[in-house]
Structures are given as C-alpha cells and as structure tokens.
Amino acid sequence: MFVIVGGGICGLAIGWRLAAAGRPVTVLERGEAGRGATWAAAGMLAPQAEAEHAEEALLPLAMESCARWRGFADELLAASGIDVDYRDEGTIVVALDRDDREHLEHRFDYFRTLGLDLEWLSGYEARQREPCLARAVTAAIYSASDHQVDSRRAAAALKAAYLAAGGILREGVAVDEILVSGNRVTGVRAGDEEIAAEAVVIAAGAWSRNIPGIPEAARPPVRPLKGQMIALRMETGNPILRHVVWGPGLSLVPQVYFAPKSDGRLLIGATVEEMGFDTGLTGGGLFELLRQAYEALPGIYELPVDETWAGLRPASRDDAPILGPTSVDGLVMATGHHRNGILLAPVTADYVARYLLDGEVAAAMRPFMLDRFRRPVEATA
C-alpha cells in the first residue's frame, strides 16, 4: 500500500498514476481534496512569464511540464469526463510607465539569454491583441507557449480519475504521525488508527514541514506564503480579456495578473505575504490588487465581484519543488511547489510515480531532491 499525505493536485495526480498502474494507494486529506492551494490557484501554466533570475534550474522542468499539460488535460477528460478548460491563447506581460518598460526590457534581454520564445510588442500591438488594456500600456512581451487551466476543474477531474482507477480517498483525516522504524517508513498514524505503507508521499503543501514523526534530516524546508485573490465576472459572450495578462506591481502585489476563464470569471492575483497560516482577507490586500489591476485594465471598474479568497503557497527555501526519495527509506517528497503547483503537476506525478513503481530517479527530478538542502555550500574563490 502507498499512502499519500495531501489531496491537492499533486497528491491526487501521483495517486492516479499509481492506481492506474494497479497498485493499492490511499490519499489522506485533512480537509477536502483539492480545496487547499489548488483551489486558490489561478491555474497559470507560465514557465516563461514567471521565469526568475536565479531560478534557471527550474526552467527546463517547468517547460517540460507545460508541454505535457495538453496531453494531461486530454487524458483527464477521457478518464473523468471533466474538461479542465485548457486555454492556449498565450500570455502577455505589460509595462505601464518608463520604469516598467525598462524593467520589462531588462527581463526580455534576460529571457533571450535563456533562449525563450517571446515576442516584443509595442503598446499599440498589445492593444490589438487585447483592446481593453489601458492606453498607459506602452510595451509588452508576448509568450505564445504560456497557457492556463482551471485549477478547480483540474482537481475535480483528478479526484474523479483517481477514484475511477481504484484509488482510496479519505477526506477529513489528518495525519498525526509518520511512522518510522530504524531508517524506514512503516506507515502513518491518524488518531488511533495506524495505516501500514511501503512508502509514504508527503504532498501536504504548506503543512508538509510540520507533520510529526518526519525525522529532522528529512523535514522539508517549506513554509506558507499567503496569496489573496479576487474573481470578477465578465460580461457573458463579451469577455474583457482572452489572454492571461501580467502587469507590474508593488510591495504586497509584486506582479498583478489576470486569468480569464471560459466560465466568465476573471481571476486577479495575487498578494505575496509572509503571514504564517493566516488566510484572512485584508482591505489593503484587496485594495492593492484592484488598484494595480485597474491601472492595466480600467474596464474592471464595472465588473461584479464574484468571489474573494486567500490560499497558501508551499514555498521551499529556494522556491523550487522538493521531489522524490529522501534519506529515510520509503519517505518520498512531492511538495514545495511555491507558485508552480498547477504547472508542475504532470511532471511531479510522472516522476514521483515512476520512482515509487520502479525505483527510478529520473534525471530531470534529481536536482529537485531534498538532499540539495543538505549539501555543504561550495566555496566560490
């Protein structure tokens, strides 16, 4: 029996792969499956637009996962009957004033050194693609290969596919302890119940670090990073946006983004806040989101508010995911996905499941194992 702690997109996707391979698997979810960071996510598949300095190692994995998403969405539709709203219009990153434009030029030059496939647009060209963008948009970058899905539909599809493949899902079950004997995981304890397992996968998002029983050497350095979001409702048949759009930001909202969904919701995100496990909404957070969104897309002023919420990104110490085996036999990581949980779900599922089924550590997963945090810092004389 495999036990997966956490029923978010990655836990369910790994479980689906294992169940589809005919192996017994149980996902234990402390709340409701798919209602944590997955529920909160905008669903952007944006390895290029979200590329950051000093995160170059992540780019190939992120690009690979993005390329797999269309097939993953098709597979999910076939297995669950649920369309995850995969949209491939691409992504536009806009600049509003001289400062933004210089920053965008700097990013564009950097992106080119990475060999990314991006196009520079004038403000006029950006508005030709998205006519409702503000007149103040002076320049933009277009990425034809950064896409999006509806993360809530993806979670629903994965849950259905996982159950249909024979996986067991237990919701409302918090794991109180990871059971370890010698240097080997033997199972988990939830309340008075002990569940034996040949391997335990930690896919518990922001909670992954704090689960009792994980030996100190295998405790993943993951912390919650709060993101407040708002959804507006676009006019039926006349959406104000079709592409994912990124704008500039400040302090609480480092880069505002818009993710228009086919059901008419326009998701606007997100704050980035170190607030522990607090998921409260604040006037300042929502104000900053709307203020910055309004500057790029003034037409939002008239749109009704559909929903507001906050989620917790599981941020690792270097912002990259933590995947695969650890120094404790049978204890396996699938956590720390930070801003990229939806994007990285297909590769996380495939590589972690391959390890569990065959013992194979894929070369692409190797740099993201937990042991990278235990290596001594190399001298740079």
Instruction: Report the nearest approach of ligand GLY to the CB of residue 270 (Å).
Output: 4
Contacting residue, 8, 34, 227, 336, with ligand GLY by CB under 6 A:
227
Tell me how far, at minimum, the Cβ of 176 lies from ligand GLY, in Å. 29
Number of residues that bind ligand GLY (CB under 6 A): 7
- Estimate the share of the chain in helix, then strand, then coil, as percent rounded to the nearest 5: 35, 30, 40
Among 232, 270, 344, 356, which residue interacts with ligand GLY (rule: CB under 6 A)? 270
d(CA 60, CA 118): 16
Taking alpha carbons only, the member of 93, 8, 40, 43 closest to residue 228 is 40
The 295-314 contact track toward ligand GLY, x by CB under 6 A, reads: ------------------x-
CB of 68 to ligand GLY, least distance (A): 18
H or E element, residue 12: helix 9-20
To ligand GLY, the closest distance from the beta carbon of 339 in angstroms equals: 3
Q: How far is the CB of 345 from ligand GLY (least distance, A)?
A: 13
Q: How far is the CB of 42 from ligand GLY (least distance, A)?
A: 6
Phi/psi of residue 69, nearest 5 degrees: -65, -35
User: Quick check: 339 binds ligand GLY (CB under 6 A)?
Assistant: yes
Distance CA 87, CA 97 (A): 29
Report how far residue 199's alpha carbon sits from residue 326's, in angstroms, rounded to the nearest whole number: 11
Query: Is there binding between residue 68 and ligand GLY (CB under 6 A)?
Result: no
Q: What is the distance between the alpha carbons of residues 291 and 232, in angstroms, rounded to a whole number?
A: 14
Going 93 to 152 to 154 to 88, the CA torsion angle's sign is negative
* Closer of 205 and 227 to ligand GLY (Cβ): 227
Tell whether residue 337 is a contact of ligand GLY (CB under 6 A).
no
CA 11 to each of CA 8, 31, 43, 110, 134: distance values in angstroms, whole numbers, following the listed order: 5, 13, 16, 34, 40
Question: In the complex with ligand GLY, which residue's Cβ is closer, 227 or 330?
Answer: 227
Cβ-based nearer residue to ligand GLY, 12 or 62: 62
Closest CB 353 distance from ligand GLY, rounded Å = 24
130 or 273, CB closer to ligand GLY? 273
Contact (CB, 8 A) for 143 and 129: no
Q: Which residues are near ligand GLY by CB under 6 A?
A: 42, 44, 227, 269-270, 313, 339
